Amino acid sequence: MRLTKSKLLIGACLMLPLMQACGDDDSPAQPIHVDKTLLVVDAVPATHTIGYYTTQEIPIDRMEVSTDDTWIHIVDVTSADFSFDVDANTSTEQRTGAIYVTYQGNSETPPITIAIRQDGIPTP
């Protein structure tokens, strides 16, 4: 069988998707995707909900939603969203906190960070 330029080109085109799948990026695919990575909230206390979806089957007990901030409180985690409360911001200064969403089934997958920015109370 004689290789012509057209057969070689067709073969290269057929191999391209396989070559791309074997790229240098060895980082694991993020199995969790959230609706927002930044949420700006009012100074008043309130409950907020952020939706998410997964690209693979993740048992709800393997999802961890956490925060290190004392004014943010995780309320509920379901298979489609999570809810959290924020305390009132009694300062005129804006404050920023974070919520971390982690899949505990894969230690190589970094947590997703959601920034929560809360307005301060208006100055009189």
Q: What would the 3-class secondary structure string for the chain be?
A: CCCCHHHHHHHHHHHHHHHHHCCCCCCCCCCEEECCCEEEECCCCEEEEEEEEECCCCCHHHEEEECCCCCEEEEEECCCEEEEEECCCCCCCCEEEEEEEEECCCCCCCCEEEEEEECCCCCC
Q: What is the pLDDT along the chain (124 residues), one digit of tens a residue?
A: 555 555 544 555 455 444 444 444 455 566 788 999 999 999 999 999 999 988 877 777 778 999 999 999 999 998 899 999 999 999 999 999 999 998 877 666 788 999 999 999 998 7
Q: Mind listing the pLDDT tens digit for each residue in 42-57?
A: 999 999 999 998 887 7
**pLDDT at residue number 69:** 98
> Does the pTM of the predicted model rise above 0.75?
no
